[in-house]
Amino acid sequence: MIDVVVVSHEKDIPTLGDCIRGIRENIQDLGRVIVVSEYQYTDEAEWFNERSFPFNKEGIYERLEFPFMTGWYFQQLIKLYAWQVIPDLSEHYLHIDADIVFMRPVEFIKNGKMLYDNSTNNHNPYFVHMKNMHPDFIKTFDDKNGMVHHILYYRKYIKEIFDLVEGYHGKDFWKVFCDSLQEGETNSACEMEIYFNYIFRCHKDKVELRKVIWEDVSDFDNIEKYRREQNFDFVGFHAYMRGADIYTDKKRKESHMTRDGLVTLYD
């Protein structure tokens, strides 16, 4: 069985219910559905408190050149640490962004291999960050990347990544993650790229590329149209595309604060 972890923020409340419904209806071999957030936003899935993780926004904030990115990196680290923190999480667990709605059945393991979608996005600071974390973390494909709003993790392989990073630097993984960000770059890390490139370099016999059909759109009010038409495996209804952008420019980013007095920039 594959458990699904959804990291959620207040801005995701409009899409969260549909995200969970899409998971339950379309993710093959589904186990638990777990929403990680500061507060419980739904009773349609298990809730796990983000404060249970061994790092917090304060600690991340203090290590960043651009503190308004605190929430962006915080939610990435939650996904990577889920295997360590959430009790009884399945060996394979799937992360899906809270503004993604699956429309058609999708499988993630076939004939003993883990299946991965890919994109053509190529943001170089992500790969600089990877290599700063460990010299062996390099880009595997010239024309393929792993940032596709979801990813299947395997506990054994994430542990390998953690062990390599902590052994090389002699400090906690989350601290290395923050300290390895490219100087002068605001958007400088992607947890999906770290894992995607590692597994396709080090465990290529256990993984396989496949194409998932998806689209990012702004018209969340027409979600039923996308369900009826069945043209996509999933659709992304991102907050910034839905007109819920709380971080249009740097000045607003720096002034947007949480109840704890810390910025929370999420995807």
Q: Identify the weakest region by mean pLDDT among 58-62, 91-95, 249-253.
A: 249-253
- For residue range 107-160, list pLDDT tens digits in order: 999 999 999 999 988 899 999 999 999 999 999 999 998 989 999 999 999 999
Beta strand 92-96 pairing with 150-154? antiparallel
Query: In the prediction, which pLDDT does 110 show?
Result: 96
| Domains of the chain and any CATH numbers | 2-255 (3.90.550)
Beta strands in the chain (DSSP E): 2-7, 30-37, 46-49, 92-96, 100-102, 109-110, 113-116, 150-154, 207-209, 214-216, 234-236
36-43 long-range Cβ contacts below 8 angstroms, 24+ apart: 36/5, 36/6, 36/7, 36/8, 36/78, 36/82, 36/86, 37/7, 37/8, 37/9, 38/9, 39/10, 41/8, 41/10, 41/12, 41/13, 41/16, 42/16, 42/17
> What is the model's pTM?
0.89
Q: What is d(CA 202, CA 237) in angstroms, rounded to the nearest whole number? A: 33
Contact 179, 63 (CB under 8 A): yes
DSSP state of 240: T
Q: What residues pair up with 197 in beta bridges, in sequence order?
A: none
The CA–CA distances, whole Å, from 214 to 55, 58, 208, 266 equal 33, 35, 18, 21
For 143, the 3-state DSSP assignment is coil
Give residue 124's Cα distance to chain centre: 18
Q: What is d(CA 18, CA 1) in angstroms, rounded to the nearest whole number? A: 22
Query: In the prediction, which pLDDT does 72 show?
Result: 95
CB-facing half-sphere around the CA of 78: CA atoms within 13 A: 27
Q: What is d(CA 200, CA 213) in angstroms, rounded to the nearest whole number? A: 21
Give yes or no for residue 13 having a pLDDT over 60.
yes
- For residue range 156-179, list pLDDT tens digits in order: 999 999 999 999 999 999 999 999
Contact 217, 225 (CB under 8 A): no
Query: In the prediction, which pLDDT does 244 show?
Result: 58
- For residue range 125-140, list pLDDT tens digits in order: 999 999 999 999 999 9
How confident is the prediction for the chain on average, in pLDDT? 91
Structure tokens at 255: 């002034």
Q: Sort 255 into a burial class: Cβ within 10 Å, 0-12 / 13-18 / 19+.
A: exposed
Query: In the prediction, which pLDDT does 191 show?
Result: 97
